[in-house]
């Protein structure tokens, strides 16, 4: 039995992302998403995105404040690159844009969309209680405090943070028109055009204080589990004409290809939740699927057991879902149901990549049944 001083660091590092070019992949057909894992093993792993944000996964986190973004209002004098990468339409973003409300500074890199088709308009990647929206916007950021660029950050557990915006067909959206009006200039794969800058903040919902947050992955190959997902509770709208511009104008094929392949229905299907918890920043009742669903509160009730009292020695905040406690035990065994990203024993730092993807905090801190880590007052021991 090996003893070390123990200071746990629990980071719910939550966040399609940079669409990377390597082996050919598509959403359907012989290179479709059901075959991605043959060339990209992470795509068949755990903690993948997107997910169906179901009521039973939700836990209220009172520490989640409003999302704060900086320098999103771009001048029309700034030139942005709009392009068709064969999988989506993508807009490059200047590095002066960033998220300031996370533990690290996450700098903007690009935004892109996912959408359906004229025959099946539903095309969002994330679902809310099995409801799929017409489209979804992703604003992609990388951890610039720790990594110099997107390429270095993309496969790191704390590398990326993505803002997800659900889109429904409804009223005309002038903010989206700033780039949709140029979409005819990027009809085919690898075509690009320069467009004037505009207020990127206007693409997001008015309220940035209501959102879902969870730890997930890229929604395209190579599917690295490196994304802190923030999906806003409130959707935005685009007009039917604007939706048709996405669904009927673009092609995933090149100009010189003999067959033009329409670019639509470019969304990944929901992935297993894998015992993950989806944190929410709002506590009131939710009208998710036209019925009222109460969000559960993860804040602990008054401490009632020796185990909970001991837990204060190990964690900076009270853990949730403590179960199977023996109040008379000399060594309290503490069990949680949250996904663990990182913890530290003395100078050693253990990351999720060292464990089986199926391991959650419930497995790591419990009776040693997975031969990982046990706790006792004053330290930790490796089993």
Respond yes or no: is residue 87 known to be catalytic. Answer: yes
Encode pLDDT of 210-245 as tens digits.
999 999 999 999 999 999 999 999 999 999 999 999
Percent of the chain residues topping a pLDDT of 90 = 67
Q: State how far the Cα of 192 lies from the Cα of 252, in Å rounded to an integer.
A: 13
Cα separations (Å) of 192 from 83, 91, 254? Answer: 4, 10, 12
Q: What DSSP string runs through 67-101?
A: --EES-B--TTSEEEEEE-SSSEEEE--TT-EE-S
Say what the pLDDT of residue 295 is. 58
What gap in Å lies between CA 348 and CA 161, rounded to an integer?
Answer: 25
| CATH 3.30.540.10, applies to 29-292 | no
Read off the pTM.
0.73
361: confidence class by pLDDT, cuts 50, 70, 90? very low
Residue corresponding to tokens 């090149």: 254
Residues 366, 324: Cα–Cα separation, whole Å: 9
Determine how many CB atoms are found less than 10 A away from the CB of residue 377.
10
Q: Are 199 and 209 in contact (CB under 8 A)?
A: no
Per-residue pLDDT averaged across 354-359, rounded? 35
End-to-end Cα distance, the chain: 6
Domain boundaries, the chain: 29-292, 301-382
SS3 172: coil
> Among residues 39, 87, 254, 359, which one is catalytic?
87
């Amino acid at each position: 039995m090996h003893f070390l001083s123990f200071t746990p660091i629990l980071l719910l590092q939550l966040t399609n992302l940079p669409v990377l070019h390597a082996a050919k992949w598509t959403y359907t057909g012989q290179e479709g998403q059901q075959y991605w894992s043959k060339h990209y093993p992470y795509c068949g792993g755990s903690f993948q995105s997107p997910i169906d944000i179901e009521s039973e996964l939700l836990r209220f986190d009172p520490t989640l404040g409003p999302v704060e973004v900086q320098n999103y209002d771009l001048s029309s004098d700034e030139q942005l690159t709009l392009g068709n990468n064969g999988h989506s339409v993508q807009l490059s973003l200047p590095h002066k844009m960033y998220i300031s409300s996370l533990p690290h500074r996450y700098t903007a890199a690009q935004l892109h969309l996912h959408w359906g088709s004229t025959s099946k308009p539903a095309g969002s990647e994330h679902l809310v209680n099995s409801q799929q929206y017409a489209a979804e916007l992703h604003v992609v950021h990388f951890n610039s405090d720790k990594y110099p660029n997107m390429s270095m950050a993309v496969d790191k557990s704390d590398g990326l943070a993505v803002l997800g915006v659900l889109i429904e067909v409804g009223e005309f959206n002038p903010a989206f028109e700033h780039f949709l009006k140029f979409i005819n200039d990027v009809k085919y794969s690898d075509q690009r055009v320069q467009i004037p800058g505009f207020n990127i903040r206007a693409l997001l919902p008015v309220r940035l204080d209501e959102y879902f947050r969870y730890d997930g992955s890229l929604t395209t190959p190579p599917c690295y589990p490196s994304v802190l997902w923030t999906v806003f509770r409130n959707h935005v709208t685009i007009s039917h004409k604007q939706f048709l511009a996405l669904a009927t104008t673009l092609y995933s094929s090149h100009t010189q290809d003999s067959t033009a392949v329409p670019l639509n229905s470019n969304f990944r299907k929901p992935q297993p939740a894998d015992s993950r918890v989806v944190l929410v920043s709002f506590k009131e009742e939710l009208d998710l699927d036209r019925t009222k669903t109460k969000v559960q509160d993860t804040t602990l009730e008054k401490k009632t057991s020796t185990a909970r009292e001991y837990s204060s020695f190990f964690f900076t905040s009270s853990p949730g879902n403590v179960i199977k406690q023996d109040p008379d035990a000399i060594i309290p065994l503490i069990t949680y149901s949250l996904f663990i990203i990182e913890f530290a024993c003395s100078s050693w730092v253990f990351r999720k990549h060292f464990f089986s993807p199926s391991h959650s905090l419930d497995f790591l801190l419990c009776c040693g049944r997975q031969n990982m880590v046990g706790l006792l007052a004053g330290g930790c021991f490796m089993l």
